[in-house]
């Protein structure tokens, strides 16, 4: 590895850290301008002014905003996300298990969706403008166009209710055997796969088709290579950067955009946790979950950037 | 035409194309797609080990015919009639599998731009041996050894290790030779060379040409050599076929074609560039005076112009020559203010121009116009010719209505395009016509100086010739000065009054044309002048021998 690459990668990482701090400010500011008073919402309408003042002092709510921000930030940096106002539980602990669940679900969906989308994209290019291409594109677009809750309920109707192959409610718990856990998430993972498949497949197809116009594709054709080899060996490596970008965007969606699916399948993940606590106005939890989501988003985008840099031979092998 | 009996298994010519007809679907703007015939029944034969040059202007169908030997149609092009008999069988009847079996095995292709034809994502060696591996002509190790031997034969630097590099790490001239090695690596019977040296500088072209010629001789491969440059093809071919509009014009031995052409068109191709232009003497008051200009990119990091001084006299032409990267176009950018010089001054029509573009007056801008190499990207495709030429009239002179239209008609008259073009769009014009419109647009501003940046490089020789004649005629009429940037020395001889030779950002030789082109030369000018192909048999060998002597210290 040479120095320009290291420099670029380091730049991206540093940028990601700066971005994360900026996001933390936004999240903090956002929750501050929400109407209502935390102490009031904890103690309820019947609280005496003295009790409110005591609680405010106890929670440090009387300090200026920037002092509270840095106190919060300091906690976050040392792994202390605070306590949930409603239940009094440690947020970091609750998030830990739920983040794991969400990542497991997203991972299962990604393991199926990403290779499938790329494979379908390659096939669509190989048989471009023919019936196979149109069939692939049509089905993929149809699955994207349906709202995710509709797909979710459709899957539940057929696979859980009618044929009773998979459970309708994805209950997972600590110490659950892996295979059982896998079986529990089949339906939500399938629903997620159907939601993100088309976007990735269409982008793969477009990126490769763009490369197919290049002169070096003609060179490959004139070497007598098989069409699928031309696409795989000569077109795909040059389409990696845009493909990785869209894959990462979709992975980010799998992690942070699963709220609806988690609610449908009653899956104990981050999305459900967030929805629960938004309704209860539990500000520390909302802040913490927002920050985790932002971190996932930024991290995946950095990975996409770095992958695009590494995929470019001009940067990997300078003159 | 030599018809020596070839010692082959099938006892016939290697390639026998009979009555080839090729069609394409075109999509004219605003009309229904239609079929046009690109090649109208051309026939040719090629014996084993011989080289046939295919020559003609763009649109003559030479690349299309060359690619038909691999049963390949570029874009929407389709072979619709005739037979292509390679090694005794009609390859058009072989089906997709049969065609794949011969591509990269019996016939290989060398493209015009090797830089674009190599896949940027793979190492050179992987690409060089790929076709041979695919067709199972050998084990990888053995093929790599063969490739290294070919790299050495083609005089590539570091033949052992150059295969480990990526395309962007190797220069254009070297890539062109690697591509030739790639074609030879499969040990084919036939190689199609499609303008393999056109995109190169003259000083590089000569080396690549010599390498290709040696490789053809030593391996005994046959070749179709496609080019628009008769002087180049005369160096490498046994026979030459002249094509025009997809039809055969003349076919004969190389000597006969260049010395005794029988067709008028061939004659025109041979004698192109013969423009007589009497050199004018410098005046005492130059219209543009560039003094000690130094300019750089990246805030002074990369110096691209070093202490450049040249003068251009009213109504005269300064030709700026040099290879790519020598700073010719950068000089134009400095003069026009697009790249403000760091040091030095530019005096124009008696006043000092401010370095930065934004500080210049409208009059400064008007009197200094530019014409570019790519006429089609220098015009708005959604504007008509009338709008394009009318724009400077409105902008600089506030002309409107009938007055403007009348002036547009006059200008069109000047560029010999007359009526009927005012309402056309650029896409409906030929390459030469587009360049003429750009000239008219520059003239519309009534400039004192026009900077012409490689304005004829993208044009066919005969069309380019017409443009040069037009520019000279306009100079006589309007007394406009030209700064003519080019890498083509024949053009320089045809139109220049004075010449500046540039090399790595410096002017290495400067003066009136007669003086610059008279010995003794400095080393670089000598190299440049001796690299220009001449339409003469054996020129290449003589030029290479001359270089070896120079390199040996004579």
- ipTM of the complex model: 0.78
Average pLDDT on B455-472 reads 86
| pLDDT for position A312 | 85
Angle (CA) B521-B526-B532 rounded to 5° is: 140
Residue B333 has pLDDT above 60, yes or no: yes
Helix (H) or strand (E) holding A152: helix A148-155
The predicted-structure confidence for B193-224, as pLDDT tens digits, reads as follows 998 888 778 888 888 888 889 888 888 899 99
Residue B10 has pLDDT above 70, yes or no: no
Residue A225 to residue B104, Cβ atoms within 8 A:
yes
Q: What confidence tier does B272 reach under pLDDT thresholds 50, 70, 90?
A: low
Does any CB of chain B come closer than 8 Å to the CB of residue A216?
Answer: yes
Angle (CA) A62-A64-A65 rounded to 5° is: 110
The predicted-structure confidence for B84-126, as pLDDT tens digits, reads as follows 999 989 999 988 899 999 999 999 999 988 888 999 999 999 9
SS3 label, residue B351: strand
Q: Are B310 and B507 in contact (CB under 8 A)?
A: yes
The predicted-structure confidence for A195-237, as pLDDT tens digits, reads as follows 899 889 999 999 999 999 889 999 999 999 999 999 999 999 9
Average pLDDT on A129-133 reads 91
Q: What is the CATH number of domain B288-518?
A: 3.40.50.300
Does any CB of chain B come closer than 8 Å to the CB of residue A129?
Answer: no
Residue B275 has pLDDT above 80, yes or no: no
Residue B2 has pLDDT above 80, yes or no: no
From A180's Cα to the closest Cα of chain B, the distance in A is 43
Q: What percent of chain A has pLDDT over 70?
A: 98
| pLDDT for position B7 | 36
Enumerate the residues of chain A whose CB falls inside 8 A of the CB of residue B74.
218
Indicate the domain borders of chain B. 288-518
| pLDDT for position B339 | 87
Q: What percent of chain A has pLDDT over 90?
A: 28
- Comparing CA positions, the residue from A283, A258, A277 lying closest to residue A269 is A258
| pLDDT for position A83 | 81
Both tokens of residue A121?
A: 């994209």
Alpha-carbon Rg of chain A, whole angstroms? Answer: 24
Q: Where are the alpha helices (DSSP H) in B445-488?
A: 461-478
In whole angstroms, give the CA distance from residue B157 to residue B123.
16
In B, minimum Cα distance to A235 occurs at B119
From B317's Cα to the closest Cα of chain A, the distance in A is 38
| pLDDT for position B6 | 35
Does any CB of chain A come closer than 8 Å to the CB of residue B97?
Answer: no
Residues 278-317 of A with CB under 8 A from B: 311, 313-314, 317
Residue B3 has pLDDT above 50, yes or no: no
In A, minimum Cα distance to B100 occurs at A224
Complete domains list, chain A, with CATH:
92-282 (1.10.3720.10)
Does any CB of chain B come closer than 8 Å to the CB of residue A234?
Answer: yes
What is the phi/psi pair of residue B288, to 5°? -130, 130
Does any CB of chain B come closer than 8 Å to the CB of residue A4?
Answer: no
Lowest mean pLDDT among A100-114, B214-228, B532-546: B532-546
Average pLDDT on B229-236 reads 88
- The position carrying tokens 């304005």 is B455
| pLDDT for position B552 | 63
Across the interface, of A215, A237, A314, the residue whose CB is closest to B117 is A215
From A220's Cα to the closest Cα of chain B, the distance in A is 8
SS3 label, residue B121: coil
Residue A238 to residue B120, Cβ atoms within 8 A:
yes
In B, minimum Cα distance to A220 occurs at B131
**DSSP state, B518?**
S
Residue B27 has pLDDT above 70, yes or no: yes
| pLDDT for position B147 | 94
| pLDDT for position B75 | 77
| pLDDT for position B546 | 81
Q: Are B314 and B450 in contact (CB under 8 A)?
A: no
CB atoms within 10 A of CB B245: 14
SS3 label, residue B273: coil
Q: What is the mean pLDDT of chain A?
A: 87
Residue B20 has pLDDT above 90, yes or no: yes
Q: Are B34 and B220 in contact (CB under 8 A)?
A: no
The predicted-structure confidence for A63-100, as pLDDT tens digits, reads as follows 888 888 888 888 888 888 888 877 778 888 888 888 88
Tell me which range, B168-177, B260-269, B403-412, B488-497, is most confidently predicted by mean pLDDT: B403-412
Lowest mean pLDDT among A291-300, B96-105, B322-331: B322-331
Tell me, rounded to whole angstroms, the distance of Cα A32 from its chain centroid: 26
In B, minimum Cα distance to A226 occurs at B100
In whole angstroms, give the CA distance from residue B208 to residue B188.
20
Across the interface, of A225, A238, A313, the residue whose CB is closest to B134 is A225
In whole angstroms, give the CA distance from residue B453 to residue B442.
13
Across the interface, of A223, A313, A314, the residue whose CB is closest to B104 is A223
Residue A216 to residue B119, Cβ atoms within 8 A:
yes
In whole angstroms, give the CA distance from residue B12 to residue A152.
70
In whole angstroms, give the CA distance from residue A218 to residue A222.
6
């Amino acid at each position: 590895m040479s120095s320009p690459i290291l420099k670029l990668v380091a730049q991206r990482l540093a940028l990601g850290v700066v971005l994360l701090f900026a996001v933390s400010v936004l999240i903090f500011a956002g929750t501050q301008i929400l109407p209502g008073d935390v102490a009031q919402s904890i103690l309820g309408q019947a609280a005496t002014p003295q009790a409110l003042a005591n609680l405010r002092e106890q929670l440090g709510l009387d300090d200026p905003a920037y002092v509270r921000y840095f106190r919060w930030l300091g906690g976050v940096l040392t792994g202390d996300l605070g306590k949930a106002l409603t239940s009094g539980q440690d947020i970091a602990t609750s998030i830990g298990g739920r983040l794991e669940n969400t990542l497991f679900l997203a991972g299962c969906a990604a393991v199926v969706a990403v290779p499938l989308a790329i494979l379908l994209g390659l096939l669509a290019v190989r048989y471009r403008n023919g019936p196979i291409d149109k069939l692939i594109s049509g089905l993929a677009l149809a699955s994207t166009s349906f709202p995710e809750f509709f797909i979710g309920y459709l899957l539940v109707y057929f696979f859980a209710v009618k044929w009773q192959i998979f459970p309708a409610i994805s209950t997972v718990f600590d110490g659950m055997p892996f295979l059982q856990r896998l079986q529990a998430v089949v339906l939500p993972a399938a629903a997620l796969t159907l939601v993100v498949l088309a976007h990735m497949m269409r982008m793969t197809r477009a990126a490769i088709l763009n490369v197919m116009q290049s002169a070096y594709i003609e060179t490959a054709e004139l070497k007598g290579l098989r069409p699928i080899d031309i696409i795989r060996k000569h077109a795909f490596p040059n389409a990696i950067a845009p493909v990785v970008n869209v894959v990462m965007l979709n992975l980010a969606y799998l992690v942070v955009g699963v709220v609806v699916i988690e609610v449908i399948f009653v899956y104990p993940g981050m999305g459900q946790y967030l929805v629960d606590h938004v309704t209860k106005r539990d500000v520390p939890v909302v802040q913490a979950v927002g920050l985790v989501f932002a971190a996932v988003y930024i991290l995946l985008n950095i990975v996409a950037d770095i992958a695009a840099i590494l995929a470019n031979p001009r940067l990997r092998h300078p003159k | 035409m030599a018809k020596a009996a070839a010692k082959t298994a099938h006892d016939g010519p290697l390639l026998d194309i009979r009555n080839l007809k090729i069609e394409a679907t075109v999509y004219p703007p605003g009309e229904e797609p239609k079929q046009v015939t690109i090649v109208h029944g051309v026939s040719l034969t090629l014996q084993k080990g011989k080289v046939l040059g295919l020559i003609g202007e763009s649109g003559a169908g030479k690349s299309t015919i060359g690619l038909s030997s691999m049963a390949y149609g570029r874009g929407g092009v389709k072979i619709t009639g005739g037979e292509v008999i390679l090694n005794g069988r009609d390859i058009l009847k072989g089906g997709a599998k049969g065609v794949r079996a011969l591509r990269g095995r019996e016939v290989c292709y060398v493209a015009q731009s090797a830089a674009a034809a190599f896949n940027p994502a793979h190492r050179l060696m992987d690409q060089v041996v790929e076709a041979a591996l695919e067709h199972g002509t050998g084990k990888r190790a053995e093929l790599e050894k063969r490739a290294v031997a070919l790299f050495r034969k083609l005089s590539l630097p570091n033949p052992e290790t150059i295969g480990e590099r990526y395309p962007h790490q190797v220069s254009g001239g070297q890539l062109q030779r690697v591509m030739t090695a790639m074609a030879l690596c499969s040990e084919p019977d036939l190689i199609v060379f499609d303008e393999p040296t056109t995109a190169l500088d003259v000083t590089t072209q000569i080396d690549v040409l010599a390498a290709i010629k040696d490789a053809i001789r030593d391996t005994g491969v046959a070749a179709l050599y496609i080019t628009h440059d008769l002087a180049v093809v005369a160096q490498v071919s046994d026979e030459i076929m002249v094509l025009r509009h997809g039809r055969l014009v003349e076919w004969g031995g190389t000597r006969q074609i260049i010395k005794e052409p029988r067709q008028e068109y061939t004659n025109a191709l041979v004698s192109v560039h013969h423009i007589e232009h009497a050199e004018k003497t410098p005046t005492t008051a130059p219209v543009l005076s560039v003094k000690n200009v130094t300019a750089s990119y990246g805030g002074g990091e990369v110096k691209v112009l070093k202490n450049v001084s040249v003068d251009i006299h009213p109504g005269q032409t300064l030709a700026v020559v040099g290879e790519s990267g020598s700073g010719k176009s950068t000089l134009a950018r400095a003069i026009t203010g697009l790249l403000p010089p760091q040091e030095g001054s530019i005096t124009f029509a008696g006043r000092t121009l401010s370095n930065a573009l934004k500080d210049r007056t409208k009059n400064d801008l008007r009197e200094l116009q530019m014409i570019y190499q790519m006429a089609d990207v220098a015009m708005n495709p959604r504007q008509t010719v009338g709008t394009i030429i009318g724009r400077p009239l409105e902008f600089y002179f506030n002309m409107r209505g009938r007055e403007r239209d009348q002036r547009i008609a006059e200008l069109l008259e000047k560029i010999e395009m007359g009526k009927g073009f005012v309402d056309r769009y650029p896409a409906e014009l030929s390459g030469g016509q587009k360049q003429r419109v750009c000239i008219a647009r520059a003239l519309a501003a009534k400039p004192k100086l026009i900077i012409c940046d490689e304005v004829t490089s993208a044009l066919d020789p005969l069309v380019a010739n017409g443009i040069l004649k037009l520019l000279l005629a306009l100079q006589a009429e309007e007394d406009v000065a030209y700064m003519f940037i080019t890498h083509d020395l024949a053009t320089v001889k045809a139109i220049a009054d004075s010449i500046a030779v540039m090399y790595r950002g410096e002017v290495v030789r400067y003066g009136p044309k007669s003086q610059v082109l008279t010995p003794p030369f400095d080393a670089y000018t000598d190299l440049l002048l001796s690299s220009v192909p001449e339409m003469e048999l054996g020129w290449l060998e003589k030029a290479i021998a001359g270089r070896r002597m120079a390199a040996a210290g004579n």
